[in-house]
Structure 1
Amino acid sequence: MASQEEPIQPTYRGYGTIAPQRPAQRQRRHSWHTRPCMQEAENFQLLLRNFLVELNCRMDFLEDYGHVKYDAGVEYAYNTLLAVRESCSKISDGAIEAGRRQASVFVETLEGRYKDAMERKETLGEKVLEGIVLMDNYLTEFETRAYAIRDGSIGSYAQEFYEEGRRKMDEGIEIAKGVVDGGLDKARRARETIELRVEHAVQRALERAKAHGLIHYEDLPEPWRVNPHILKGYRFQEGKWACVRSIFGLHNELINIWTHLLGFIMVLAIAFYFYPSSANFSMSTKADIFIAAVFFFAACKCLACSTIWHTMNSISHQTLLERFACVDYTGISLLVAASIMTTEYAAFYCEPVSRWSYMCITALLGVGGVILPWHPTFNRADMAWLRVLFYCSLALTGFLPFGQLAYTRGVAWAQYFYAPVTKSLLVYVTGALLYASKTPERFFPGFFDYVGCSHNIWHVAVLGGIIFHYMAMQTMFTQALTRAQTSCSVY
């Protein structure tokens, strides 16, 4: 039986190179290993020819993995393989004595590179066999490295892909950061430019106000310009006390200030004199009086906040100007919410669950109306229609109980109940529409600068709405107290 033992690899090489360490088992076997040594010695030419054919195939395989890296000694061996293939391939297969010539060239090539290894053999056949063993060892080592490259290529490519993606992402982040930083820097510079421009305009307006007392619309800095149809009569003071003292002077805010200042005194008189003297007051419970007190408080707060705003809107500090405006809007929100709550309280006087449910919803909407005006957009001059829409929508929520009342007591009863509040509602809506549309001054700019402008009308409408609602509240409370005398058994 033919021997399957591996040929022994030489432990030395010529020219100072170090022989590679062979594994205990070969990774692959070739056909020429299966022959006995004597048979191989006799047929070394055929064996060499077969080896050279296989050498070409295996070298092509190695060349497909061009990423294999060699140290100096291994690279010398690889170059030897290339030299053997090149020198032996020049001999034509059809030439006479081609086999022996290939063997001679094969041995000469190896002796020129590994002289010590080849000198141990005497005959040409033995040297051919020794060279084949030596070359096969190198081929096996190179194939091992190539397989390792192939097995690790997926991981290495994935790592390269990850690193490249990470690098691209970092570059994108840096670019985005630069864009954002640049945008923020531009926004900051633009804001600083606007602030500087406003500051210069404030100084110019103060100088004109000191020189002339009252100034014109075009003299005002941009944030102070609200109604372009009111052309003259503007105050512009540097301090708060100057604004307060101006309530006794003649200017275009005089009517706005005094309509609500006098209205504030009127509501106090109603709350502390006329209401306690009414027939309903003696019949009212503490809860009834508390609900009425909430309405009076909201009305007084609305009128007081409005008076403060129109007194202080000539202050030359923009931050204070915007805060006083927000105070005015919060007063309106509380008045609308309190008016609705009195209606809901009277409508469901005998139904505590429905009463408190509707009143809690209205209270939450009122809180929202107090918070919303503090948003910078809400106070812009071009948002007048939005403000009117918001307050009208808030007022219309007072009619949400209408459906339940119409269902439980009939449509006629619900209409009869809400009839008293229609007067105040019509007054509010009319004043709000005139305020938002800036009528009548938009048709006669400069004619209504001191008296009769839309804001004057709006102030009178607010005061009238408060008084009309007080009268409606008295009527609704009278009906509620009448129902209570029957213990609300009908409903």
Structure 2
Amino acid sequence: MSSAEEITGAPVVNLIHEPSEKQVPLDFEDMILRKRRGWENANPEFEMPEDESDDELVEEDEAGCPLPSTPEDTQLIEAEMTEVLKAGVLSDEIDLGALAHNAAEQAEEFVRKVWEASWKVCHYRNLPKWLQDNDFLHRYHRPPLPSFGACFRSIFRMHTETGNIWTHLLGCIAFIGVSIYFLTRPSFELPAQEKIIFGAFFGGAIICLFFSFAFHTLSCHSVEVGRLFSKLDYCGIALLIMGSFVPWLYYGFYCHYQPKVIYLSVVCVLGCLSIIVSLFDKFSEPNLRPLRAGVFMSFGLSGIVPAIHYSLMEGWFSQISQATLGWLILMGILYIIGAMFYALRVPERWFPGKFDLWGQSHQIFHVFVIAAAFVHYHGISEMAMYRVTVGECEVPHPPIDF
């Protein structure tokens, strides 16, 4: 008789050497045996003291540790085995489901990373409809990349948008540097009012170039993202034109308050109308490329009216000799030439498939935009220096008559 029999006076059911008549599957039997193995089996050197009281056993049970051998009814054992069996099966189902779910997620993540790292350029005919913009560019197109990280990493890959991305990215960085240098001049060199006027031009240029860079980088992400940044790109062009008007209207009509306010108001209205038109979905369709070029060219050419007024007021020959009007005319010519390249899709129209990577019309358009913006910056700087040299107006600003 074991020590437990001497204490309790009841036979001990030995789950290790005397299994019940009903056989349990091996896995769950092993689990039960491990769960209910007595202390003397877990530690052969342990011996139950013969004088251990029932109170000590009860305290151990309340502490959560299993008793070495407890008299139990056979029905209770079978019921407990059934509960353990159910719990084990249920836990297996949960674990298997979670494992399958995690495996599916990991496989999807792995495939996505492999795809992002190993995508290849494709032919125009293999692109989805929403990415088919210029059918004269045959090869080296990016496939859809539904990840912002993959789109930004494509900046360092060779494809049809590489030139478009880098031309305006570098232009944006250049204008940020110039604006920081200009706007941080001491107040005795450049008054705050002059900084605000030039800031309108710098802000329009930086926003335009940044939105263009973002569009050409993220246009392959999805239909929604491409459409959104396409609209932002067109809005940036309108802001660049508006910002370009502000300095030269301010300095050109420096001593003529009424026409200056009128022209600035008209420019703001036309700019807002251009932005509203740019927000329509159909405005960004490939077949409406000439319309887009026409809208922004018309907006830019609206400056002819104040330019003629300015020249008649100040004198043609004096303004041309001072080069202020000449820089303005050169800027307009550069913008118009770039827009014509963009609208006609030259030279790839004449040589399809030959300018897929470099020399395409959109890249030429970007170069002309940056050149025109720097020419304009130089022109308005000359106008500002001339105004500083001349000094204040001799006649005070008259009130506006309506």
TM norm structure 2: 0.65
**Aligned residue number for residue 150 of structure 2:** 242
Q: Which amino acid aligns with 2:273?
A: G
Aligned Cα RMSD in Å? Answer: 2.6
Contact 1:420 1:475 in 2 (8 A): no
Q: Which amino acid aligns with 1:468?
A: V
Question: Which of 438, 452, 471 is the equivalent residue of 2:345?
Answer: 438
Question: Which of 329, 334, 358 is the equivalent residue of 1:451?
Answer: 358
Contact 2:183 2:199 in 1 (8 A): no
Matched residues in 1 for 2:393 and 2:255: separation? 10
Matched residues in 1 for 2:345 and 2:116: separation? 26
Cα–Cα, structure 1 residues 454 and 396, in superposed 2: closer, same or farther, change >3 Å? Answer: same
Matched residues in 1 for 2:188 and 2:293: separation? 38
Question: Which of 318, 321, 333 is the equivalent residue of 1:426?
Answer: 333
TM-fit CA distance, 1:276: 5.0
Matched residues in 2 for 1:211 and 1:246: separation? 11
- My pick for the range that moved more, 302-311 or 231-240, is 231-240
**Aligned residue number for residue 320 of structure 1:** 225
What do residues 463-491 of structure 1 show as CA deviations (whole Å, max 9, x unaligned)? Answer: 11111111011011122223334646899
Matched residues in 2 for 1:490 and 1:314: separation? 53
**Aligned residue number for residue 126 of structure 2:** 219
Contact 2:164 2:362 in 1 (8 A): yes
What do residues 220-251 of structure 1 show as CA deviations (whole Å, max 9, x unaligned)? Answer: 12221111011111112122221111111121
How many residue pairs get aligned? The number is: 282
Residue 240 (structure 2) pairs with residue 304 (structure 1): no
Contact 1:208 1:215 in 2 (8 A): no
> Which has the larger Rg?
1
What do residues 106-160 of structure 1 show as CA deviations (whole Å, max 9, x unaligned)? Answer: xxxxxxxxxxxxxxxxxxxxxxxxxxxxxxxxxxxxxxxxxxxxxxxxxxxxxxx
Contact 1:337 1:394 in 2 (8 A): no
Q: Which runs of 5+ in 2 are unaligned?
A: 1-113
Cα–Cα, structure 1 residues 467 and 402, in superposed 2: closer, same or farther, change >3 Å? Answer: closer
Matched residues in 1 for 2:118 and 2:391: separation? 66
Question: Which of 224, 236, 244 is the equivalent residue of 1:339?
Answer: 244
Cα–Cα, structure 1 residues 431 and 487, in superposed 2: closer, same or farther, change >3 Å? Answer: same
Q: What SS class does the counterpart of residue 401 from structure 1 fall into?
A: helix
Contact 2:255 2:397 in 1 (8 A): no
Q: Which amino acid aligns with 1:305?
A: F
**Aligned residue number for residue 374 of structure 1:** 279
Q: Which amino acid aligns with 1:213?
A: K
Structure richer in helix, relative to its length: 1
**Aligned residue number for residue 398 of structure 1:** 303
Residue 402 (structure 2) pairs with residue 476 (structure 1): no
Contact 1:405 1:414 in 2 (8 A): no
Q: What SS class does the counterpart of residue 139 from structure 2 fall into?
A: coil
Matched residues in 1 for 2:341 and 2:180: separation? 32
**Aligned residue number for residue 23 of structure 1:** none
Contact 1:298 1:335 in 2 (8 A): yes
Task: Please list, as runs of the form range in 1=range in 2, the aligned pairs for 1:128-143 lying within 5 A after superposition.
Answer: none
Cα–Cα, structure 1 residues 211 and 274, in superposed 2: closer, same or farther, change >3 Å? Answer: closer
Contact 1:264 1:300 in 2 (8 A): yes
Matched residues in 2 for 1:409 and 1:428: separation? 25
Residue 163 (structure 2) pairs with residue 289 (structure 1): no
Matched residues in 1 for 2:357 and 2:263: separation? 42
TM-fit CA distance, 1:258: 0.9
Q: What SS class does the counterpart of residue 303 from structure 2 fall into?
A: helix
Q: Which amino acid aligns with 1:330?
A: C
Matched residues in 2 for 1:251 and 1:449: separation? 8
Residue 189 (structure 2) pairs with residue 259 (structure 1): no
Matched residues in 2 for 1:333 and 1:486: separation? 32
Q: Which amino acid aligns with 2:306?
A: P
Residue 260 (structure 2) pairs with residue 355 (structure 1): yes
Q: Which runs of 5+ in 1 are unaligned?
A: 1-206
TM norm structure 1: 0.54
Matched residues in 2 for 1:453 and 1:433: separation? 13
